[in-house]
Structure 1
Amino acid sequence: MNGNGRAPESSVEWTVMESGIGPLLLAATGQGLVSVVFHAGPGVRGRALARLRERLGAEPVECASGLLAGAVGELSAYFAGELREFGLPLDWTLSSGFNRQVLRELATGVPYGTVVGYGDLAARVGQPTAAQAVGVAMGSNPLPVVVPCHRVVESQGGLGGFGGGLETKRALLALEGVLPEPLF
């Protein structure tokens, strides 16, 4: 058992891929993609791998094939503007409860090129007064881009927050045609 009382995963593979928004660390288990981490330079990478080791109870092994080949391919196609819906198997191990419920609704119910308000997403999961809790769920999303928390915005038109930074959120929304491309 790991520190969370779970049996350890048999394998956790990771790689870093370049994307239109900078380097992304991708990690997968035998169940599917388990983590996407923005701005995956050496320092961020080390902290992310330590968290995965602790949470999953297995030593992450660097490998760009095997479990991650499909994820790298789909994310590359997404950033090239050729993919609008991910078909990757996802491992939801790193989220639970209300957060997992909200993230699953986001993954299946907010398509490419659209946005949803925090309050609207809360209502979709049966908690219409939980807009702030939806914000917390977005901040804890272990699978950004694939589970598109960048598509969640404030009801009055503001971007809201974003774990990858607002410039990253703007870039993803521009890629999907929701916002205009930056001029410079």
Structure 2
Amino acid sequence: MRWAVLDTPINELSVAVDDTAVCGVHFGRVESAGPPRDELSRRTVAELDAYFAGELVEFTVPVVARRGSEFERAVWREMTRIPYGETVTYGEVAKAVGDPGAARAVGVACNRNPLPVIVPCHRIVGAGGKLVGFGGGLPRKVHLLELEARVALQRAWS
């Protein structure tokens, strides 16, 4: 696994890649992270830069979650189905993965998401649209949601 670091509007992000896929995103700098040195790292950094610039609404880099329970993996797959610029509740995700009473477990799975931003756990909110919980901190979640809302509106009105 190789780590690359990039500066973003939500501070540094470290991205882990192996020979075939992106396997981790970490808020902050991982000690071994440096500039992207291989093609997949460069492509991932370029896509993240484009995302934060409002130019990319869907990531195309291959991703893989190397850990997680069956339930967590189901939640992470469901996250990838949430459209750019939209939100769903923890309860809605729980229902979509077949366990309507598991809203809190969905929150735990969100917190354990190994690929935040690329696998958009920030698009999941509390009941009634309340902003609750985010592994990267609520200010980062707000920034990501505001970015996507602004870009979605710009695209809809242009």
CA deviation map 1:86-132 (0-9, x unaligned): 1110112133311011101111x101100010000010111111000
* Whole-angstrom distance in 1 between the partners of 2:38 and 2:78: 29
Per the alignment, residue 11 of structure 2 pairs with: 22
Aligned to 2:17, the other structure's residue is in SS state strand
Instruction: Establish whether residue 101 from structure 1 lines up as the match of residue 74 from structure 2.
Output: yes
Q: Which runs of 5+ in 2 are unaligned?
A: 151-158
Superposed CA RMSD in Å reads 1.7
Whether contact under 8 Å (2:79, 2:120) holds in the other structure is yes
The secondary structure found in structure 2 opposite 1:176 is: helix
- 2:142 aligns with 170
Amino acid of the structure 2 residue aligned with 1:126: G
What's the counterpart of residue 54 of structure 2?
Answer: 81
- Aligned residue number for residue 36 of structure 1: 25
1:67 aligns with 2:56: no
Partners of 1:110 and 1:151 within 8 A in 2: yes
Q: Secondary structure at the match of 1:136?
A: helix
1:99-138 → structure 2 map (5 Å cutoff): 99-107=72-80, 109-138=81-110
Aligned equivalent of 1:53: none
Q: Which residue of 2 aligns with 1:182?
A: none
CA 1:83–1:106: 2 relative to 1, 3 Å: same
Distance 1:38 1:61 in 2: 14
AA of the residue aligned to 2:3: W
* Ranges of 4+ aligned residues in structure 1 off by more than 2 Å: 60-67
What secondary structure, in the 3-state scheme, does the structure 1 residue paired with 2:127 have?
A: coil
Structure 1 segments unaligned to the other structure (5+ residues): 1-11, 50-59, 179-184
- The amino acid that maps onto 2:121 is C
In structure 2, do the counterparts of structure 1 residues 23 and 95 end up closer, same or farther at CA, with 3 Å as the change threshold? Answer: same
Normalising by structure 1, what TM-score?
A: 0.77
Share of identical aligned residues, percent?
45
Tell me if structure 2 keeps the 8 A contact 1:34–1:92: yes
**Alpha-carbon distance in structure 1 between the residues aligned to 2:16 and 2:72:** 20
Larger Rg: 1
Return the offset for 1:157.
2.1
Check 1:18–1:133 CA distance in 2 against 1; reply closer, same or farther (3 A cut): same
How many equivalent pairs are there?
Answer: 150
